[in-house]
Structure 1
Amino acid sequence: MTEIKKQFKGLSNEEIVQSRTKFGSNTIIQQKKNVFLNSVLEMIKEPMFLLLLTATSIYFITGDYGNGIFMGMAIVLVSAISLYQESKSRSAINDLKKLSQPKSKVIRNGITSEIPSEEIVIGDLIQTEEGTFIPADATIIQSNDFAVNESILTGESMAVFKNENTNNDSVFLGTIVTSGLAICKVIAIGNQTQLGKIGQSLEAIVEEKTPLQVQIGSFVKKMSLVGLGIFILVWIINYYNSKMLLDSLLKALTLAMSIIPEEIPVAFTTFMALGSWRLMKIGVIVKQTKTVETLGSADVICTDKTGTITENRMTLAQCYTISDNLIKENYTDPNSIELLTIAMWASEPIPYDAMEIALHDAYSKLEVTDERPNFKLVHEYPLDGKPPMMTHVFEDFKGTRIITAKGATEALIATSNLSEKETKDILAAMKKMALEGYRVLGVGIASFIGTDYPKKQQEFTFDFKGLVAFYDPPKANIKATFETLYKAGIQIKIVTGDNAETTATIAKQIGFRNADQTLNGDELMAMDETTLRKRVMETSIFTRMFPEAKLKIIKALKDNNQIVAMTGDGVNDGPALKSAHIGIAMGKKGTEIAKQAANLILIDDDFSKMIEAIAMGRKIYSNLKKAIQYIISIHIPIILIVFIPLALGWIYPNIFSPVHVIFLEIIMGPTCSIIYENEPMESNLMQLKPRPITNTFFKLKEITISIIQGIVITIGLLFVYQYCVTNMFSEDGTRTVVFITLISANIFLTLTNRSFYYSIFTTLRYKNNLVLLIISTTIVTTACLLFIPLFANFFEFESLSGLQIGLSILVGSISVLWIEIYKVFKRKKMKYNK
């Protein structure tokens, strides 16, 4: 396998083009759907659309063609806005899907390179190794200790060993390589693969809704039922007063339209999709947009050490030879050369692990004859055991055999015949190396006659040769990253396969808190659930971890109602990544299994991006909350100003008609979905504790302030209504004053609700150009309705004096700006609590 590039040339550029032209791309093409038509059909089913259509039909039936045409145009406009927002969200999600597509190694023109799996063609040579998904159906042409999990096709979870010398030499798309490495020739792609032929059934899978989506759906459904009940009541009252069936129905529809908060689900979809798109732009791929909802709630981040906290740029720092009982930093003596040679043989022939690359590099610099071209890997034991080790068996054409192993020092000691003194010396050397922050591996050699190899590598008896120590420096930005996360109220726990001394030393170098509180995998597994639940909250560093132990940590944290994020990159990290609320895989060094199990992928393996991801999650949740609170606050006065005059039999019972309500809906939609989505993050957001995932926008405690805002605005509207009636205003004049007051209140509400902590004077300095655009558009459009006779007549408005307009603006502002007093007390309370 060391001469892959020389042995295999793969397809040429011309052959690739020919194969793709003849057989197509490596994608499973499912039944084509007309996305636009589906969106239109879904929109038509919405209650608001049906109400608008009904109102428009009534206008035409009763001969009111002007209002009918306006409502028809409004339907087109509202539908266009809705379809545009959905298209934008869908486009963002499609961009994310493209980025999260798996990649595969292929040999083309004699060169091994990594390409998107969908670009593989029939005839390609693919290189598959432990931790990857098979990207197409293929035939093995060369392999080393190669095993595949085919449960996706067969349901059988046990790994199946395969090689080119048996009838069992086929591999299939979607199966997982559990050990070894193989070169395979592609024989089927896309729909022609075994998985592709059953792929149509994947269409039936429906993604489960998140708790927040369920809450939003439930809230909108309840409001729709309330709307239905009030709609019937208002229809009856109107019909009783006027005896006009269609006119009464139309006025009842006005109220029904004002009750349904159809902007909320649109806002949710828009915020989540565009939030995922923004994360993608900073180097974080969100595989499912619903993950964004959870990000802002993360309480605990469980991170591995190598490659996350450290650079994963291993250099050989020291070695210890048992024959000399010495720790050395140069390797020119015979014992050191022997130790490094054995360690190299214990590594993969084609190294991809950072430590193995360092060993191969160190070996290449030794002044020895390189015997690698004369030997072939004939048997392999993958990384296994608690703690783990791995063993390789090489043989040349003469039958000379080399059996070597490397792994955790304790694992090699357990499989070697050592005296008590030797064991004590080895452990002392290991501890000394570890306390310097080095990662330490034990190295041994064995002999074996015959081909009936032991089932487990631990059955060999090894001659313990010594230790090799690697230094992997901490990342430059990791200290500041941890400090920011601590300030955000997030616990950080290191979960690693390394030993406690090495991990604690590195942890102290980067300012990691409570670095002395450690727990190893065996101790953890021996604990009962009650003890473990307590210890996981107290422990900061978990060492000598293995898959089952990692899974128990995640479960125990979740049992403590923690929202857990977990980073990982290896095959064995898959279960824990899947179990965590937020699984985070590394984009560069992460295996495909880790990436598939995770919710997030850090493209550049940069852990500091988690700060931006969590901040983005908090910002999106905060802005969505503002949008929903705005929607609730502004809907309340619209509902009540339509209902109260009618229910109480006031002189002008029907102050607004459907055209007024739809105009307000057109204003409110962009405000909540465009302005608030584009709001910057508030400066105190990363100093707050994570919000409990159980929090909902729709509990009374959460929306009390919004209800109060809506009621106060209503009081303002009823005040100007009564002012107009008292001063003998006509119905059109009263309608105009009430409408301008509501528009003014809406503008001030938009501005004040940009923060429920900072004052309006602070938020006016926030960089959000859309605020000026939307508010200016609202003001100009409202001015047109007032001062252009054609529009004024259509909306049944009257000209107002400057004093009357000033009164409307004054009442509108007062009915909203009282919230600034509430914010002052809130800021004082927060500062006092600090």
Structure 2
Amino acid sequence: MIARPNARDAETPQPEAWHTLPRAEAERILLTGPEGLQEDEAERRIAFYGPNRLAPPKRRGPLLRLLMQFHNVLLYVMIAAAVITAFLGHWVDTGVLLAAVVVNAIIGFIQEGKAEAALDAIRAMLSPHATVIRGGLRREIDAAALVPGDLVLLSSGDRVPADLRLAAVKDLRVDEAALTGESVPAEKNADTVAHDAPLGDRCGMAYSGTLVVYGQARGFVVATGAATELGKISGMLAGIRSVATPLLRQVDRFGRLLALAILAFSAATFAVGTLWRGHAPAEMFMMVVALAASAIPEGLPAIMTVTLALGVQRMARRSAIIRRLPAVEALGSVTVICSDKTGTLTRNEMTVQRVVCGGHVFDVGGVGYAPVGDFSVDDHIVDTDRYPAFELAIRAGVLCNDARLREDEGLWSVEGDPTEGALLVMGAKAGFTQHAGEAAWPRLDSIPFESEHRFMATWHRDADGESWIFVKGAPERVFEMCDAQLDHDGEHPLDVDYWRRMATDTAAQGLRLLALACRRSAPAGDRLGFADVETGYVLLALVGIIDPPREEAIEAVGECHHAGIRVKMITGDHAETARAIGAQLAIGIGKPAVTGAEIALMDDAALRRVAMEVDVFARASPEHKLRLVQALQDDGQVVAMTGDGVNDAPALKRADVGVAMGMKGTEAAKEAADMVLADDNFATIAAAVREGRAVYDNLKKFVLFMLPTNGGEALVVIAAILFELALPLTPAQVLWINMVTSSTLGLALAFEPAERDIMHRRPRPPGEALLSGFFVWRVLMVSVLMMTGALGLFLWELDKGVGIETARTMAVNAVVVAEMFYLVNSRSILAPVANREGLTGNRYVLVAIAACIPLQIAFTHTAPMQAVFGSTDLTALEWAKVVGAGLLVFCGAELEKFIIRRTRLATRLGLRQPPAY
């Protein structure tokens, strides 16, 4: 019986514990060895374990997916409205309503198909081929044929085909950013580590889907397919349901309540008209149908789509690509942004910031790979040629280096290890370029960096023909080689305590450390060997390197804080580095950084508390990121999550708004996200939040415009029924008003620019209803004003002996003109609009009014329209009365705003809050 790697017997480790086992023990459990598996054994195992691939998820068929798009209360209401308008013979209205239903369903169908592509992107990361040893022979096979126990060979440029326990390693470095978020390639060896070591610290493992950037290795397969770390992420992603955005939840709730209200209102109106006032049932039925059709907000889905689409266009101009329309508005309601560190908050360009020499500490100016910046001591700019130790340290960093610094059309980049690139940039700032240095000090031999030895050494000859050996590496290792140090006034015995103290102080600032040393002598032989680098070196400097924060990210984080949005940093990097970067960004100042290992020990209740209190999370795995997002959501927060790796995909999908990086992000992250940042810049998120808030503002303004216009029509008819008056509006005229105002006026609010204080407000509460108590008051007030103007004008004209057709024509025009004026009022919920900016700040409002005027003139004065709607011509005086009715609404709405502003009701109503610092 073959022992299976994942079997649950006494001697078999858990799948995640392979990093704790010595190579020999892993071989014994896997029943394999240096010759690999025999072919027949591999065939038996693949029958047991299955192929090394990720199974496609179960999916609904296209037809069912399309039909499910119609399962929406608002669409049900729109379909009902289409049926009613068809019954009344208003085929244009019917066509518009049905077109809106179909368009919304198609958009949802397309977006759902895109979201499912995230799993396909993860499966595409699996390597198609693998080099193995089977039966002692080297072979290249389809990676799907790999089984636990196979001996796999890795070399530079390979994608790791399965999870491996490394057995032999030579200078192996693996880019694991997609899984761990680590900003630099991980150095690998065959050593064991503790059971609770984070994924990024498991030096003896190589994981499926990661990329070998340097060196060679061989390792035994311990997990394939769904059992790999990549497979676990795919399983997590498949099990996560996307969360509906706040707007969709609000609109769904609003649609349900409005549908019930319309039905109840219609039934009550019919009963009052027929049973109490004795109107003919047929006449009342037609009126109720017309009022119900007018009350249905058929313009809401259209205005939502247009407003969101305009937001998408504006965001695209700011390098934010929206993949799902509702994400535009969801950004505006975000209360917490969980951001990755590397490349989003930081530049992803390693930079030397500090150089410690004997007796002096140098600060290095400039950020990124552009060789621009000064050197300073105690904030005073200095010349390097006055400090021999510092100058020689710069030379050592440039010469003991395998990276290349390149410029292409003004853009600087590094080929090779980013840490080595940072040393080249520092040299260029001092005027010591790599090309000039190698020409004057040619390299004769080198010892490449190996993780076992933790240093690199190079042998050079200077212009005088003398030999120099330069060393760079981990400080503890280089300290062991040195017995002297170079100070400002020459060589002195090594002060180990000083250097260790400075190393601790520099590391506490989150900087990665390198030590530089030299020896002025030639190797013992004609080649540079390890015996030549054991002792006798002079310590030159400690170099502190960091991936610095983006300047624009610092400003954007501040803007988010002013907007009441918490910013949390979740990274795979080390806690010290994360805390230091966080402090520079004003994230988590004075608070501890919590690691993934600590998160794993917390239950859900404890994690909810910690997630709200702590702002920096380090060494976080995919499970930790997902749990953090869920904990914040369980606390009632609206969460935006940024990420670039496969490890971020589950959290991106779960978040209210998933934000992927466009430049360095994996396809899996992009497909799981709602938004992609084309410039990988956190500042773009802050700009997108601003646009999202503007979108929601405009949707609220549209609702505040739409409901009173429908309410005004309804109150006119209800008042006529209650007081046994002649109906001021016929069913056809009600539908005309609704069609004209919905198709021309309301759409203009989608183009409304963001208000100036929009990023100084707190995020709206996630559970806030689309219609607050204040909104209900505003709807009732404006509805009453419209009814007063239209019904009052209708009764006044009848009292003067004018025919009922003329009175009704004036009532229809009074409602429409009132809506034109109220459209201008609706440009701002509280701010006054009786000024130049308020009247002309949105040219689309003026265009909409200009388009509506000829429609009303045609309704009033053309014979075909008069025949259909029963309208008549109006005199100039009668038109003046109509305009007066409209001005009543405008002045009343502005007076209400003025009173609220003067009595400071806005703050108490939660409409205007102080900035959240």
Q: Report the TM-score range of the alignment, normalised by the length of the smaller protein.
A: 0.5 to 0.7
The worse-fitting range, judged by mean Cα deviation, of 496-505 and 612-621 is 496-505
Q: Deviations over 1:456-509 (max 9, x none)?
A: xxxxxxxxx997632444434334323322322223344455567666665666
The worse-fitting range, judged by mean Cα deviation, of 297-306 and 767-776 is 297-306
User: What pairs up with 1:526-545 in 2 under 5 angstroms?
Assistant: 537=612, 539-542=614-617
Residue 182 of structure 1, CA deviation: 9.8
**Residue equivalent to 1:561:** 636
| Pair 1:288 & 2:319 matched | no
Mind listing any 5+ residue stretches in structure 1 that lack a counterpart?
Answer: 1-27, 59-67, 104-116, 119-131, 144-149, 184-201, 343-349, 382-389, 394-403, 414-420, 444-464
- Counting aligned pairs with the same residue, the percent is 24
Residue 436 of structure 1, CA deviation: 6.7
Q: Deviations over 1:155-203 (max 9, x none)?
A: x9x99996699xx9989xx9994434499xxxxxxxxxxxxxxxxxx99
**Residue equivalent to 2:335:** 299
Q: Distance in 2 between matches of 1:82 and 1:392?
A: 66
Q: Deviations over 1:63-96 (max 9, x none)?
A: xxxxx5xx23443455567767888x689979x9
User: What pairs up with 1:536-615 in 2 under 5 angstroms?
Assistant: 537=612, 539-542=614-617, 554=629, 557-615=632-690
Change (3 A) 1:544 1:270: same
Q: What RMSD in Å do the two structures reach over aligned CA positions?
A: 5.9
2:827 to 754, 769, 774: 754
Change (3 A) 1:333 1:352: closer
User: What pairs up with 1:55-454 in 2 under 5 angstroms?
Assistant: 57=87, 68=89, 71-76=90-95, 134=124, 138-140=128-130, 177-181=208-212, 209-232=244-267, 234=269, 247-315=283-351, 354-355=418-419, 358=422, 367-368=442-443, 428-434=501-507, 438-440=511-513
Change (3 A) 1:536 1:338: farther
Change (3 A) 1:687 1:743: same
Change (3 A) 1:51 1:265: closer
Q: Distance in 2 between matches of 1:715 and 1:776?
A: 25
Alpha-carbon contact 2:745-2:848 (below 8 Å) kept:
no
Residue 788 of structure 1, CA deviation: 2.2
**Residue equivalent to 1:795:** 869
Change (3 A) 1:226 1:508: closer
Amino acid at match of 1:223: L
Q: Distance in 1 between matches of 2:715 and 2:329?
A: 33
**Residue equivalent to 1:770:** 844
Q: Distance in 2 between matches of 1:206 and 1:287?
A: 17
Residue 442 of structure 1, CA deviation: 9.2
Alpha-carbon contact 2:82-2:94 (below 8 Å) kept:
yes
Residue 529 of structure 1, CA deviation: 7.0
Alpha-carbon contact 1:139-1:169 (below 8 Å) kept:
no
Report the secondary structure of 2:338's partner residue.
Answer: strand
TM-score by length of 2: 0.61
Report the secondary structure of 1:760's partner residue.
Answer: coil
1:488 to 559, 563, 568: 563
User: What pairs up with 1:648-663 in 2 under 5 angstroms?
Assistant: 648-650=723-725, 652-653=726-727, 655-663=728-736
Q: Distance in 2 between matches of 1:442 and 1:376?
A: 13
Change (3 A) 1:515 1:816: same
Report the secondary structure of 2:513's partner residue.
Answer: strand
Mind listing any 5+ residue stretches in structure 2 that lack a counterpart?
Answer: 1-57, 134-142, 163-177, 180-206, 215-236, 364-388, 404-413, 428-433, 457-470, 479-493, 517-538
Q: Deviations over 1:503-554 (max 9, x none)?
A: 66656666x3763434342795477877765665555555566666655654
Alpha-carbon contact 1:441-1:469 (below 8 Å) kept:
yes
Rg comparison, structure with higher value: 2
Q: Distance in 1 between matches of 2:720 and 2:394?
A: 99
**Residue equivalent to 1:733:** 806
Q: Distance in 2 between matches of 1:37 and 1:534?
A: 41
Residue 751 of structure 1, CA deviation: 0.9
The worse-fitting range, judged by mean Cα deviation, of 431-440 and 636-645 is 431-440
Q: Deviations over 1:404-428 (max 9, x none)?
A: 9999x99x99xxxxxxx99976752
Alpha-carbon contact 1:494-1:542 (below 8 Å) kept:
yes
Amino acid at match of 2:419: M
**Residue equivalent to 1:708:** 781
Q: Distance in 1 between matches of 2:239 and 2:621?
A: 36
Report the secondary structure of 1:583's partner residue.
Answer: strand
Q: Distance in 2 between matches of 1:317 and 1:243?
A: 86
Amino acid at match of 1:134: A
Q: Distance in 2 between matches of 1:492 and 1:204?
A: 27
Amino acid at match of 1:739: V
Q: Distance in 1 between matches of 2:554 and 2:240?
A: 43
Amino acid at match of 2:747: I
Change (3 A) 1:54 1:532: closer
Q: Deviations over 1:225-271 (max 9, x none)?
A: 44344445555666678896655543332222123222223333443
**Residue equivalent to 1:447:** none
Q: Distance in 2 between matches of 1:269 and 1:578?
A: 22
Q: Distance in 2 between matches of 1:791 and 1:331?
A: 92
Residue 703 of structure 1, CA deviation: 3.1
Report the secondary structure of 2:750's partner residue.
Answer: coil
1:677 to 726, 730, 750: 750
Amino acid at match of 1:569: D
TM-score by length of 1: 0.66
Residue 48 of structure 1, CA deviation: 5.0
2:892 to 818, 821, 824: 818
**Residue equivalent to 2:707:** 632
**Residue equivalent to 2:855:** 781
